[in-house]
Chain A
Amino acid sequence: MTTPEPDPGLQLERTALAWRRTALALMIGPVAAARLLAPERGVWAALAAAGGLVVAVGVAVLASRRHRTQARVMSGAASPHDLPGGLLLVLTAVVLVAGGVVAGGFVSRL
């Protein structure tokens, strides 16, 4: 009997990498924006960058937990009902919408 492949098509690995790319972009974006805005907006830019970094680290940590649960479901050690669902996704989307509002504020006052 052949052992079933643990990650057919490498979907799990690709998803983990996609989360990492996203967390990285979430880290770089606010810092780069703060760097650009620092001459005009000093403190606010620094605050936005710090907030962005905190969020990005949070996303990275929660995404790695998510990955571990998904891996256990794929190997059969856990049932799909143990999956975390869409909460991290909707929170990430809300953070981006909030980021858009903040960016709009910066842009319209520069």
Chain B
Amino acid sequence: MVPDDRRFPQSVYRTGSEPDIRFSLANERTFLAWIRTSLAFLAAGIALEALELPIEPALRLAAALVLVALGTLAPIQAWFGWMRVERAVRAGRPLPSPALAGPIGAGTLVVGLLLLVGLVVR
């Protein structure tokens, strides 16, 4: 443990010991995957509202709002997940599972159902 490590955030780098850099690289790729997931959600939300689609408008708006909300949650999971995993790797502890994966998955299901009903009702 290096108490005067200057890297940000100190809550990560002042715990445990330096891991094999490959664990950090893998953690970084996971962070970036969540970021790209966020971009996909945001793009889908905007596309739903910007394109002329044969979906009942209220349900389409609801689906778009949920997609934007998911796109805003995903980067939160990206950052806090990265921090928790980096700390766990440094401390030699078991890796935590992504806390927001459940809600984000459930939200995606809700979007699918909203669009399905919106398509059928139209």
Contacts and interface: CB of A to CB of B under 8 A. Distances in A.
Interface residues of A, number: 44
- Secondary structure of the A contact surface, majority rule: helix
A40 B2 CA distance: 54
B32 to A, nearest CB: 4
- Secondary structure of the B contact surface, majority rule: helix
A9 interface: yes
Contacts of B120: none
Contacts of B39: 25-26, 29, 96, 99
A35 to B, nearest CB: 9
A77 interface: no
Given A14-B29, A100-B72, A110-B50, A22 B35 contact: yes
The 6 closest A-B pairs by CB, nearest first: A100-B72, A85-B7, A36-B50, A96-B75, A93-B79, A93-B75
Interface of B: 2, 5-9, 12-13, 18, 21-22, 24-26, 28-29, 31-33, 35-36, 38-40, 42-43, 45-51, 61, 64-65, 68-69, 71-72, 74-76, 78-79, 82-83, 86
Interface of A: 8-9, 11-12, 14-15, 18-19, 21-22, 25-26, 29, 32-33, 36-37, 40, 70, 73-74, 80-81, 83-87, 89-90, 92-94, 96-97, 99-101, 103-104, 106-108, 110
